[in-house]
Chain A
Amino acid sequence: MVDPTSTATAIEFRGLSRHFGATRAVDNVSLAIEAGSVCGFVGPNGAGKTTAMRILSTLDLPTHGDALIDGMSVVLDADRVRPLVGFMPDSYGVYKNVRCHEYLDFFARAYGLVGRERERRVRQIMEFTGVAQIREKQMTALSKGMRQRLCLGRALIHDPKVLILDEPAAGLDPRARRELKDMVGELASQGKTLLISSHILAELAEMVTEICIIEQGRLRAHGRVDEIQRHVAPDQTIRVRLLDDPARLVTWLENRPAILEAQQESDHVRLRVPQGDDAENASLLREMIEQGFQVVEFTVQQKSLEDVFMHVTDGVVQ
């Protein structure tokens, strides 16, 4: 478990840039991700997510700037960074004539694990990722979901502090996605720092503690999801359903200065209030009840991550 008060930085970009000819795949990005957090990394196609993740995994070098893992530079200290990072790329190759447990065993050896420790680690990983049931299967014969599990297992084999997952949920069925989510939660609870890129925003939002939006190589937003939501949308919508006639509530609400708009929609009322904290919403609800309204439902509707994404990005594809 990670000490919640600790502010150690696990991942840091310092003016990170990676240019491919005229394309600025990553363009002067600076950000820091604290140890123990789960950060969603989103952006349109070609935004530079994969490029940035590859640099973090020491598979590519920045054109300018640097990236640090646990305070060590991926440029200068690649050898010390590698044991700290587990990377699951969006596409990767498989070996012919290699069984699942042999694959994990191979990478355990590659990471320098020896003897009983290696065997134990391989078995733990197989149990954690659910590969144990298919341990004798050939790698080439695996389904997409199983292959993803195996690859996650490979990324975990050396017990890295930082996990970088590039579109881990792509191509998975709903059950597999849920299981992936559970695994991510489990890993986060062990204190690992995760950076996850995904286009499936609804599910990503359930996994992450913070989010980082990048477009055309530039950082558009970074912070806790609700902070960004608040920042992006100046107001919020509350849906209220009463047992009695909603029209009376609309009239009552219209006289209140804090309410921007109140509207009756069939059996409920939708009101727009300025983006505030939850205390104000609570006092509004208390006042309604004191006024004798029989409130059945009172829902603050946050902007979804998808709305935030659409708002922050311009939709320019590189």
Chain B
Amino acid sequence: MTLQEERHVLVVYPHPDDEAFSVAGTVRMYRNMAVPVTYACLTLGEMGRNLGNPPFATRESLPDIRRQELVAACAAMGIEDLRMMGLRDKTIEFEDDEKMVKLVTNLIEELNPSVIYTFFPGFAVHPDHEATARAVIEAVRRMPKEARPRILAVAFANDTVEKIGEAPIVVDIRSVKDDKIKALQAHASQTAWMMAETEKRIDDGEVLSDSWLNVEKFYPFTFED
């Protein structure tokens, strides 16, 4: 499908690299259409496990490395409005729920987005992903129906297709595949091993058909009322 024009796109994810895996191609396409995009990244992935052996970072130096990676990934995606929200990795579900809703509400009131990209609650695997999705959905639910932005959500739990079916929205990102690769590569502390593996498969002539480098898939989140 082709992307429609948007007033403003808001992307809300908890970890640097969530956006690269989930929406990098889609965001790059919006930016190529001159649609404004804001990325609110809630943490700096402070609790990332991959420090290397021999290690390239410590538990205490990792956040700085990931901040730089996030800035570089945003450059690859063309995101000019990056908000680092200052929460700590793996603690979002323990924050006050109202505070989290308020955080999202404030962003919506400031930016007036026509669509929000986030995770799909119940199918987002990581507790931070789930807590982020819950906050976004609750913030939007509280808005008057006619004022609500659309929510396009990423789901990747093992039981996703079984429970909610195939994703109805499939964005063809082949035209910006190189930019998605650059965004993923920018998060080297998280993706270096995986990217090397992928390059090897491409070198070996394996065709990654219908893979995560060709399409990005989303589920619209709809409300009962």
Note whether A and B form a binding pair.
no
